[in-house]
Amino acid sequence: MGEIELDGNVLVIRRISVHYRLRAPKELRDTIERIHAIHADHCPVARSIRAAIEISTSYELLPPD
């Protein structure tokens, strides 16, 4: 989800919120939390735009099928 604001007469993206829905066993929760804490620093898209656009992420752990 993104938040768009008017900058003069131009619409610009100011904030992006990403919510992951992950299917994984509960035993992987610690691994998922560690990866979630650092993944934006290793994502080419996030690193390319983070100076101009605020990015936040969250996740939800769903039970495996």
| 59, pLDDT greater than 90 | yes
Query: What's the total number of domains in the chain?
Result: 1
pTM reported for the whole predicted model: 0.76
Structural domain range at position 49: 16-62
User: Kindly report the CA angle at 18 between 51 and 45, in degrees rounded to 5?
Assistant: 40
User: Is residue 22 included in any domain, yes or no?
Assistant: yes
User: Is residue 38 included in any domain, yes or no?
Assistant: yes
User: Is residue 9 included in any domain, yes or no?
Assistant: no
Per residue in 17-50, pLDDT tens? 999 999 999 899 999 999 999 999 999 999 999 9
Q: Which strand ranges, in their side-by-side order, compose the sheet holding 54-62?
A: 2-7, 10-23, 54-62
Q: What is the pLDDT of residue 64?
A: 87
Query: Which 3 state secondary structure label does DSSP give 7?
Result: strand
